[in-house]
Chains A and B, each alone.
Chain A
Amino acid sequence: MIVEPVAPGRGVLETTLRDRRESGHKLLVPYVTGGMDDEWLVTVEAVAGAGADAIEVGIPFSDPMIDGPVIQEASLRALGRGTTPAGILADLGRLHVGIPVVVMTYYNLIYRAGHQRIAGLMAESGVSGAIIPDLPLEELEPWAQAADDAGIATVLLVAPSTPRERIAAICRRSRGFVYGVGRMGVTGEQSSLAGSAREVAERVRAATELPVCIGIGVSTPEQAATVCEVADGVVVGSALVRRLLEGAGPVGAAEFVSSLRVALDGG
């Protein structure tokens, strides 16, 4: 995994993303649902090699309430193949992608496994961060404490509906980066970028030095480039997973991620 020196108090995720941002680079974080098909690990490697700065891996949950139809379908397929949280983490432990891996999952899987136990498993697997969208600020401890102790960055989300003073509190507790929710709604592709995506990016940028990545409703290279006029980077999930569900495979996934990279690099 990453061997760069880590600044005190900053984990691998934040250090890596800050370094890249400071070199004038826009951040690209593709999302893949863990266990969605036989080739998912190959896909993760291919995507990592196609210009991603970090990769988000979904640990599928039976009731993904913040996800739209595409990621619901991928989660269902993964669970149908017998995918478990421990299995995903074990697989990730054998992976060498050279960029930080962040897992995204729902809180019940964390709570069921036990905070310290699963934070430890994540660390052993080389995971550097976790996104748990149904765990808001008020409910965050004691997970966040266990995650901090294990060196796992808990990435918090800011939504278009989040009031200003709450944005500041969320940014103070977020680790690695801050995930700006681009639109009010569940994950899914949109034909046009919501106006709220830029607004959220601006508000979060004003509140923190942490890198700010916008996800939910960022679907195309053009949309990614537009958001990154304000944000430090983007998370792209449904647009990639939809291609995988349609059979694009690791090669097709890498092509799509390359097109996002080109757009972010000003191509």
Chain B
Amino acid sequence: MSGPHSDARSLSESGLIMGDPGPTGRFGEFGGRFVPEALVPACMELEASFRQAWIDPAFRRELDHLLHSYGGRPTPVTECLRLSEELGVRVLLKREDLAHTGSHKINNVVGQALLARRMGKKRLIAETGAGQHGVATATAAALFGMECVVYMGAVDMERQALNVFRMELLGAEVRSVESGSRTLKDAVNEALRDWVASVDTTHYCLGSVMGPHPYPWMVRELQRVVGDESRAQCRQILDGKDPDVVVACAGGGSNAAGTFAGFADGTSSVLVGVEAAGGAAMHNGIPGVLHGMRSALMQDESGQILEAESISAGLDYPGIGPEHAHLAAIGRARYETAGDTEVVEAFQRLSKTEGIIPALESAHAVAWVIRVAGTEVLPTGSTVLITLSGRGDKDVAQVRDILRRGGTTPR
């Protein structure tokens, strides 16, 4: 059995900051595989299958082909001319809102569905918060002719009714989760409960860089395309230079991890993850173990998990992916927060200045940039890349209601 020390070695042996976390899935002191015994063999099988597939040129070709011909990749990087002028910093957007299904989530699910097919699994299950990962999973299931069940908190089903219908239209069954806070964390519990009973036939298509090994690493690798594309595109726009600051919103942290993977090694870009103020695991959390991983978690003095509360269902999660906790610990990335009010303002401002309606999740990254532009963190004249993880169509009704009431309310 190998302990944390050998894991730390395997990371440093790769010579990469965002490399292979080794057989036990450690990112420094974070990560691991804290699951019931019934799921350990399935996690091991998944890890072995992914390792094999990821170095198989045929698998990579098929994935690239699907992401291109079906997913709409590569997505462009757009320079925000009006917002840049207003803020005095050069703002670039990585346009994951233009990917099929409206967010970066498609990158991960197409990869996992291909892998599930390779493993002979005919049923996909998923958790979803805002519904974007649920929609993406339902889409991939339709594409591959697989059965699909999506677990969604009852609170989120209400907030994101349109996405519920979208999943049903795509042929998925959406199961309402009534336990706990009835949001994303409880949907993960319920998906894990399903998986314990169905693991023979079912692949758990986890939506973020969280959960037990290999998920945090596998999902980051599947989202790495966001960062790799961005880096090349930025160099074209910036005459061979990298952006000074790279920003992405972070709930579980998959779009941030994918983005950071393109810049963590080989650039000096400052990496910034922006959490919801009410779900800020990196800010208010302490190390703990939930959903199969050791990471930063919002919890009380006994270790009971606290309920996150944010305007955006996709960031309403009391934890964050373990690699983010590690990147913070080694100082390679920093984690900031944005509050509901400034997020709604940023949502409107990007819409009006650039004609781009961002997802409320992505608007957290925009809000932070708006707040710090011209300060020491983001001085006048510097360049910033924001990953716009998704489009805001799903949030339009909610924001309309908030604005009609004349302010912001979390729920």
Contacts and interface: CB of A to CB of B under 8 A. Distances in A.
B35 A136 contact: yes
A6 interface: no
A242 B289 CA distance: 28
A133 B197 CA distance: 15
B305 interface: yes
Contacts of B288: 108, 111-112
A192 interface: no
A146 B3 CA distance: 16
Contacts of A107: 34, 289
Interface in A110-159: 110-113, 133-139, 141, 156-159
Interface stretch (A12-20, A78-86, A95-103): A78-86
Interface stretch (B103-111, B185-193, B354-362): B185-193
Contacts of A163: 41
B197 A185 contact: yes
Interface in A42-71: 61-66, 68
Given A62-B180, A159-B36, A186 B289 contact: no
Interface string A144-178: 00000000000011111111001000100000000
Contacts of A110: 303
Given A138-B24, A161-B41, A162-B37, A108 B299 contact: yes
Given A62-B180, A112-B302, A186-B197, A136 B37 contact: yes
Interface string B188-222: 01001100111110000000000000000000000
Contact of B189 (A63, A113, A138): A63
Contacts of A160: 38
B196 A185 contact: yes
B1 interface: yes
Contacts of B42: 161
A109 B36 contact: no
A61 B304 contact: yes
B277 interface: no
Given A68-B193, A108-B297, A111-B289, A62 B305 contact: yes
Nearest to A140: B1
Contacts of B35: 134, 136
B303 A112 contact: yes
Given A136-B33, A139-B32, A141-B3, A65 B304 contact: no
A181 interface: yes
A94 to B, nearest CB: 20
Nearest to B192: A65
Nearest to A60: B304
Interface size class of A (residues with CB under 8 A): 35 or more
B136 to A, nearest CB: 23
A184 B34 contact: no
A158 B186 CA distance: 26
B1 A138 contact: yes
Contacts of B200: 184
A186 to B, nearest CB: 5
A134 B34 contact: yes
A58 B103 CA distance: 42
Contacts of A86: 302
Give the residue among A66, A84, A134, A181 with the most B Cβ atoms within 10 A.
A134
Interface in B267-306: 287-292, 294, 297, 299, 301-305
Contacts of B299: 108, 112
Give the residue among B34, B37, B38, B292 with the most A Cβ atoms within 10 A.
B37
Nearest to B43: A136
Given A138-B1, A185-B197, A186-B193, A111 B37 contact: no
A166 B197 CA distance: 20
Nearest to A105: B303
A53 B24 CA distance: 37
Contacts of B32: 138-139
B36 A136 contact: yes
A220 interface: no
A72 interface: yes
Contacts of A185: 193, 196-197
A160 B290 CA distance: 23
Interface string B26-50: 0000001111111111100000000
A3 B32 CA distance: 40
B44 to A, nearest CB: 9
B73 to A, nearest CB: 34
Contacts of B24: 138
A172 B199 CA distance: 26
Nearest to B297: A108
A184 B197 contact: yes
B39 to A, nearest CB: 8
A139 B33 contact: yes
Contacts of B37: 133, 136-137, 156-159, 161-162, 170, 181
B179 interface: yes
Interface string B372-395: 000000000000000000000000
Contact of A65 (B1, B41, B291): B291
A86 to B, nearest CB: 7
Interface of B: 1, 3, 24, 32-42, 179-180, 185-186, 189, 192-193, 196-200, 287-292, 294, 297, 299, 301-305
Task: Please provide the 3 A-B residue pairs with the shortest distance between their CB atoms, ordered closest to farther.
Answer: A112-B303, A159-B38, A185-B197
Given A109-B302, A112-B288, 11 more contacts: A61-B303, A64-B189, A76-B179, A107-B289, A138-B1, A141-B3, A157-B37, A159-B37, A161-B41, A166-B41, A184-B198
6 contacts: A61-B304, A133-B37, A136-B34, A157-B36, A160-B38, A161-B38
